[in-house]
Structure 1
């Protein structure tokens, strides 16, 4: 029997309707019927009988459906195993990075690792919003992510950055005047928005209403420089203020800074492939700004 024959039996058992099963298998109904008849002749048994309510599997067919499910799982496990062996051979690390971390920090991290780490390791980099990257990590689509904000889940984490929030404007602005002024928003992740919302509520006692959304942050800086409004943003320490914008740091009422943390997250598994483990060790030893959990300054506590 072919692998496709086991797929036919499995699909018909889970979906006992010839036309729907044929569509799911990307086959025509006559082709599926002929193939099923061929399988029955080859095995010398009747697999299913047609009834007004659809196919009804015989005892032999039910037994074969169980073996078909096992066969399907075996094939999938084999393919996954081969893919993992291929990935180990190629020594590739799939890294997810938030847009701003990619722009200001990631390539310095990767460049530093290439100087002291395994020269055979290659990096595939995916740029996305932090919340999207976190889902990709949980789904196994990437190996390691650098994300802005705090995400809870079955992962291990290394604190790699901590950015102060600023009022960004063309000139000095009194923070108490912000509700009456035009604000320019840009694409960012939900974690950052929630932090700014919490600060706004503490400061002004109301929810922060949406501003004028212009998409990308570089366009935001240009509009701010033109005096079209102000922006609230977590600014990296190596931010190049080429437009000579005015930066006013934001603080909570207790005097602690409004900050956003950046984490390196990776799977919470007992063992990692050696090339991934080496890179994680490098991040922990050369990039981390503190232990995983510190309970003193607001910027570092978990």
Structure 2
């Protein structure tokens, strides 16, 4: 097997589809099928079971996928360590980020770092905030940018804090929230711990969920059109939206906060490129949004 075979197997396992995998690898479908057949002949086993909805791996195939993932990781680590021996800031920095930070914070940050470190490239993986911790923990990325209160055991640096508010089109009595339709969005799950604490402290019944949407902008639009209230940071809402805003506080008087942070594993700092980037981000000044 060659390193390209390792990539073929891991991508095919993730996609479960030969056509999509061929597209991802920029090769023809017959060429991919031929290469899979050669791998099967080399090990004298059947790797795949083809069905109408895609492909599944045999036990022998899954074993090879595990091996392929390990070899790709070792190859990547070897390349990074060799670059590191030169004591220069060079290589590809892998970053995981939530969608909001990818849109509003990361581009300017990366541009400023690139101006200082011209030999650094970036590989960005955008995902829901709840998945960023997994990306960092599994060494899929060097650094993660995350908003929320998910528990993280590694190193972190707080970028800024912002308050969550209740927003609604019409005036409401927040004591009556359990009886008012609520619009939730998937990004809200990053703060599920603190939101759950606030709700259970204030109310003795579950919320009345009217709709659940993928993106915070869709959530806000539903609120604007009077379909329910939502819990949102003020950075997502402008005066032009003409929404009523209500404070959220815990029983101890503390506001409900969404915290934006950079997370990483301490051992990743052994790489010059990671250490340089982490120190660069720590030198930046972010403003808390607590109004």
Alignment deviations for residues 230-267 of structure 1 (CA, whole Å, 9 cap, x no partner) = 1112343x754542322222112332211121210111
Q: Give the deviation of 1:142 after TM superposition.
A: 0.8
| SS of residue paired to 1:142 | coil
User: Which residue matches 1:276?
Assistant: 274
Q: Distance in 2 between matches of 1:86 and 1:175?
A: 59
| SS of residue paired to 1:228 | coil
User: Which residue matches 1:110?
Assistant: 110
User: Which residue matches 1:205?
Assistant: 204
Q: Distance in 2 between matches of 1:210 and 1:150?
A: 22
User: Which residue matches 1:285?
Assistant: 283
| SS of residue paired to 2:109 | helix
Query: Contact 2:149–2:193 (CA<8 Å) still a contact in 1?
Result: no
User: Which residue matches 2:40?
Assistant: 26
| SS of residue paired to 2:276 | helix
In structure 2, the CA distance between the partners of 1:131 and 1:76, relative to structure 1 (3 Å rule), is: closer
Query: Contact 1:201–1:208 (CA<8 Å) still a contact in 2?
Result: no
- Alignment map for 1:1-302 (pairs within 5 Å): 26-27=40-41, 79-84=75-80, 91-115=91-115, 117-188=116-187, 190-236=189-235, 240-269=238-267, 271-287=269-285
Q: Give the deviation of 1:137 after TM superposition.
A: 0.8
What TM-score do you get using the length of structure 2 for normalisation? 0.66
In structure 2, the CA distance between the partners of 1:287 and 1:124, relative to structure 1 (3 Å rule), is: farther
Q: Give the deviation of 1:203 after TM superposition.
A: 1.1
Q: Distance in 2 between matches of 1:144 and 1:213?
A: 29
Alignment deviations for residues 101-138 of structure 1 (CA, whole Å, 9 cap, x no partner) = 223322232234345x2123222221111221111111
Q: Distance in 2 between matches of 1:244 and 1:251?
A: 23
Alignment deviations for residues 270-296 of structure 1 (CA, whole Å, 9 cap, x no partner) = 743222211101111114679xxxxxx
Q: Distance in 2 between matches of 1:256 and 1:205?
A: 20
Q: Give the deviation of 1:157 after TM superposition.
A: 0.5
Query: Contact 2:150–2:191 (CA<8 Å) still a contact in 1?
Result: no
Q: Distance in 1 between matches of 2:159 and 2:261?
A: 6
Instruction: Tell me how large the CA RMSD over aligned residues is.
Output: 3.5
The count of residues paired between Structure 1 and Structure 2 equals: 229
In structure 2, the CA distance between the partners of 1:221 and 1:84, relative to structure 1 (3 Å rule), is: same
Structure number with higher helix proportion: 2
The structure with the largest alpha-carbon Rg is 1
| SS of residue paired to 1:26 | helix
Alignment gaps of 5+ in structure 1: 4-22, 33-71, 291-298
In structure 2, the CA distance between the partners of 1:272 and 1:204, relative to structure 1 (3 Å rule), is: same
Q: Give the deviation of 1:139 after TM superposition.
A: 0.9
Alignment deviations for residues 174-231 of structure 1 (CA, whole Å, 9 cap, x no partner) = 2112111111111125331232121111111334354411322111111111111111
What TM-score do you get using the length of structure 1 for normalisation? 0.64
In structure 2, the CA distance between the partners of 1:169 and 1:222, relative to structure 1 (3 Å rule), is: same
In structure 2, the CA distance between the partners of 1:275 and 1:232, relative to structure 1 (3 Å rule), is: same
Query: Contact 2:167–2:243 (CA<8 Å) still a contact in 1?
Result: yes
